[in-house]
Amino acid sequence: MTKQICVARIGAAHGVRGAVKLWTFTEDPLAVLHYGPLASRDGARTLVVTHAREAKDHLVATLEGVTTRDDAEKLNGVELYIARDKLPATDDDEYYHADLIGLSAETTAGEAIGRVSAIHNFGAGDVIEIAPPHGPTLLLPFSNAVVPTVDIAGGRVVIELPGEIDGDTPNDS
């Protein structure tokens, strides 16, 4: 099965003619106009963005077949996906966040510490979430200092833990 990537989330209805607020997760927000049909997470519904314009922090979009406010309100919260292979190729030093999910995480010394479970952005930059086999997840800034190596072909990321950056071991007190 082809990996599905979430490229947008439908928000509240906008106006009375079926337009919706649309939050996109793409570098170019208007790229959603060029992907063709977008699918809901379960694949049960496909929607085509027929028109979009930029608003303050989102798009205002019209969707094929959605012509009333009631229709638009029913779509609030629906995430829209495309197949990973429909996205443009990345440069050698670039990657999609979705490509990182599931990679093993290890220290610079080669010690396994878990798997990448998510990449978040809370407004101050990307944060990588590592789920160890036991215990709480690690949330670390996603920077070249903390994540010096991303090896998608090798299925791993290298994490420089805070203690390693200071020259101490992570468990020193």
Residue range 82-97, pLDDT digits in tens: 998 888 888 877 888 8
Task: Please count the other Cβ atoms lying within 10 Å of the Cβ belonging to residue 12.
Answer: 13
Question: What DSSP element (H or E) covers 61?
Answer: strand 59-63
Contacts of 37 (CB under 8 A, 6+ apart): 46, 47, 48
* pLDDT for res 90: 84
Spell out the domains of the chain, with CATH numbers in brackets. 4-85 (2.40.30.60), 97-165 (2.30.30.240)
Quote the DSSP letter at residue 25.
-
Which amino acid does the sequence have at 146? V
CA-based R_g, the chain, Å? 20
- Nearest by Cα to 12 from 81, 51, 43, 58: 58
pTM over 0.75: no
* pLDDT for res 165: 46
What is the percent of the chain with per-residue pLDDT over 90, rounded to a whole number?
Answer: 64
For residues 106 and 159, the answer to whether their CB atoms sit within 8 Å is yes
Average pLDDT over residues 12-27: 94
> What does DSSP say about strands 19-24 and 59-63: parallel, antiparallel, or unpaired?
antiparallel
Measure the N-to-C terminal CA separation of the chain; round to a whole number of Å.
47
